[in-house]
Amino acid sequence: MFEVKLNNGVAIPQLGLGVFQTRDGAETVNAVLWALEAGYRHIDTAMIYGNEKSVGQGMRESGIAREEIFLTTKLWNDDIRAGRAREAFEKSLSDLGTDYVDLYLIHWPVEGMERAWREMEALYREGRIRAIGLSNFHPGHLAQIEKEMTVPATVNQIECSPYLTQEPLIALCRQKGMAVEAWSPLGGTGGSLLSDETLARVGRKYGKSPAQVAIRWQLQRGVIVLPKSTHRERIRQNIDVFDFELSPEDMAAIDALNCNRHFGSNPDHFDF
Ligand code: A2P
C-alpha cells in the first residue's frame, strides 16, 4: 500500500474505500468488512452519507485495531451554517463508535466555514482529530478560508477522474502544501467513464480493467484515490493495482481524456 505524508507528518494510505450512497446497514457493514479483508486501511465517509454507524460496525467486526485504520468523516453544510461544528463532530464520533477520527473535512465551502474551521482547529489541538482539511474547495474558496487559518489544511478532496483531471487545482493545492484526494475517481454511479475505449485499451496491455487503470493513474500522479463499490469482487479488484505500472505514454493518453466534465455537483454552483 502506498502512503502520502500530510503536511503535519501524518501518513495516509493512498487508496481508500469511499462509501457515498452506500446504504446504512448490511450494505455498508459488508463493504467496509470486505475492504478491510482485501487490505484497505482507509475508509472515507461523511455525516451526510447517513452510514457512520455501519462504518463503525464494519471496522469493529473486522477485528482490525482501530489505529491501523485511517478514518475520514466530514462536517455537513447545515452544521457549518448553524455554527454546530463541535456538536456535529461529537455526534459523528458517537455514531462511528470511536474516540478520534484521522481526518475531518469541511464538506463543502458554505457560509460559516471560517468559524467551523476555528472549531476544527481547536478539536485538532485537543487531539481528537489527527488531521483537518477541506473538500470541494475551488481557488476562490481556498483564498477565502486561508485568511482564517492558524493550522493549515492538510488536504482538499475534490471530484477528480480521467474526464475531470483537475490539473490546475491540483497544482494550486500542492503549492499550498495540501494533498489532493479524488472523489468519484471512476466517474461516479451511472457515469460513462468505465466504458471509455482508451481506458479499456490501456487496460488490455496490463491485463487490468478500466477501473483499475483509472485508479492506478491517480496513484502515479500522487493523488489519494477513493473508489466506491458495494460489491466484494469490485472492492477487491479496485485494490489490486499495486502489481503494474502505467508507462509515461499511457499516463499521457489518460491525461488527454480530460473534458472538464463534472459528474457530481460543481463547487461553483451548488444549492445545498
Ligand atoms: P457498485 O457500488 O455497484 O460496485 P465512483 O467511485 O467514481 O463514485 O464510482 C463508483 C461507481 O462505479 C459505482 O456505481 C460502483 O458501483 C462502480 N464500480 C466500482 N468499482 C467498479 C469496478 N471495478 N468495475 C465496474 N464498476 C465499478
pLDDT in tens, 25-55: 999 999 999 999 999 999 999 999 999 999 9
pTM assigned to the model: 0.97
Cα separations (Å) of 24 from 46, 57, 126? 12, 11, 30
The residues, ordered by sequence, that sit 6+ positions from 35 with a Cβ below 8 Å of its Cβ are 17, 43, 235, 239
Strand partners, 105: 74, 133
Q: Mean pLDDT score of the chain, rounded to an integer?
A: 97
pLDDT of 184 strictly over 90:
yes
Integer Cα distance of 58 and 50 in angstroms: 14
Extract the C-alpha cell encoding 132. 483537518
Residue 182 contacts residue 163 (beta carbons within 8 Å): no
The answer to whether the CB of 2 falls within 8 A of the CB of 219 is yes
Q: How far is the CA of 189 from the centre of ligand 1 (A)?
A: 6
Nearest-angstrom CA–CA distance, 238 and 257:
20
Report the share of the chain in percent with pLDDT over 70: 100
- How far, in Å, is the centroid of ligand 1 from the Cα of 39? 18
CA distance linking residue 198 with residue 271, whole number of Å = 34
Pocket test for ligand 1, best of 49, 228, 232 (most atoms within 8 A of CB): 228
Q: Are 158 and 137 in contact (CB under 8 A)?
A: yes
Please determine, for residue 165, whether its predicted confidence score (pLDDT) is greater than 90: yes
Backbone angles phi, psi at 187, to 5 degrees: 85, 10
Band (pLDDT 50/70/90 cuts) for residue 224 is very high
Q: Answer whether 224's CB lies under 8 Å from 16's CB.
A: yes
Instruction: For ligand 1, pick from 21, 225, 226, 229 the residue to mutate: most ligand atoms within 8 Å of CB.
Output: 229
Q: What is the residue type of 241?
A: V
Contact 15, 44 (CB under 8 A): no
